[in-house]
């Protein structure tokens, strides 16, 4: 058995790492919330004109292929698609905020949410790496992989801990024990 000082250090390190993951999830929620609000701001506006102005502001030549793709995307935007995108963004950010809260409070359900959502994103990140390896894609992939493995570790450690605890008696847990 570990000495109590080491155990306390492990618990503190575990809490700090869990709170770091919670902070990352909260930041993702904020980012997606801002994207959803931006989509709402584009409703009833000419998205092509705004996209062209953005490219001019950033000094990006509109004759370049990526700029043309961006302008074509802006031209295809409809109010309905913007509303749909905003709804998905708000739902996704609500999930991220709930996950961040649960991880901050060290809740097992939040560890499950983080594990499942991170695992579901891995194939998309691998697909992105197959299309082209960039530093950003590598960092995102490795960060998500690290979070998935850490959540798996926490879930397994919690399961082992619960297995070692004595079973709770039904009479004792309801308060009707003698």
> DSSP letters of the chain?
---HHHHHHHHHHHHHHHHHHHHHHHHHHHHHHHHHHHHHHTTTS-HHHHHHHHHHHTT--TTSHHHHHHHHHHHH--HHHHHHHHHHHHHHHHHHHHHHHHHHTT-HHHHHHHHHHHHHHHHHHHHHHHH---HHHHHHHHHHHHHHHHHHHHHHHHHHHHHHSPPPPHHHHHT---
In a domain, residue 28? The reply is no
Does 40 reside within a domain?
no
Range of lowest pLDDT (83-92, 131-140, 156-165): 156-165
Please check whether residue 126 lies inside any domain of the structure. yes
> Is residue 74 a part of any domain in this protein?
no
Q: Could you tell me which residue, 110 or 9, shows the higher pLDDT?
A: 110
What is the rounded average pLDDT of the residues 69-85? 93
Of residues 12 and 16, which shows the higher confidence score?
Answer: 16
Report whether pLDDT(66) > 60.
yes
What confidence score (pLDDT) does residue 171 get? 54
Distances from the Cα of 128 to the Cαs of 30, 49, 141, in angstroms? 23, 30, 9
* Residue 89 counted as domain residue: no
Q: Cα separation of 95 and 98, whole Å?
A: 5
- Would you say residue 140 lies in a domain? yes
Structural domain including 135 reads 107-164
**Based on the number of CB atoms within 10 Å of its own CB, is 66 exposed (0-12), middle (13-18) or buried (19 or more)?**
exposed
Lowest mean pLDDT among 4-8, 48-52, 56-60: 4-8
pLDDT band at 167 (very low <50, low <70, confident <90, very high): low
Q: Summarize the confidence of residues 86-102 as an average pLDDT.
A: 97
- What pLDDT, on the 0 to 100 scale, is given for residue 8? 65
- Least-confidence region, from 13-17, 85-89, 101-105, 106-110: 13-17
| More confident position, 97 or 4 | 97
How many domains are contained in the chain? 1
Query: Does 114 fall in a domain?
Result: yes
How far apart CA 83 and CA 21 sit, in angstroms, is 30
pLDDT of amino acid 178: 47
Determine the Cα–Cα distance for residues 61 and 121; give it in Å rounded to an integer. 33
Average pLDDT, the chain: 89
Within a 10 A sphere around the Cβ of 129, how many other Cβ atoms? 14
- Rounded average pLDDT over 69-79: 92
Within a domain: 142: yes
């Amino acid at each position: 058995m570990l000495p109590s000082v080491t155990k306390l250090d492990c618990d503190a390190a575990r809490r700090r790492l869990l709170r770091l993951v919670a902070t990352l999830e909260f930041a993702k929620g904020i980012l997606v919330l801002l994207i959803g609000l931006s989509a709402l701001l584009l409703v009833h506006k000419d998205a092509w004109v705004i996209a062209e102005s953005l490219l001019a502001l950033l000094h990006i030549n509109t004759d370049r292929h990526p700029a043309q793709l961006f302008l074509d995307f802006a031209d295809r935007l409809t109010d309905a698609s913007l509303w749909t995108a905003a709804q998905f963004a708000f739902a996704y950010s609500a999930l991220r905020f709930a996950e961040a809260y649960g991880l901050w409070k060290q809740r097992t359900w939040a560890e499950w949410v983080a594990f499942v959502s991170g695992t579901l994103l891995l194939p998309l990140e691998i697909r992105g790496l197959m299309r082209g390896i960039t530093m950003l894609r590598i960092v995102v992939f490795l960060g998500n992989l690290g979070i998935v493995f850490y959540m798996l570790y926490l879930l397994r450690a919690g399961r082992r801990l619960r297995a070692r605890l004595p079973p709770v008696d039904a009479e004792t847990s309801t308060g009707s024990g003698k």
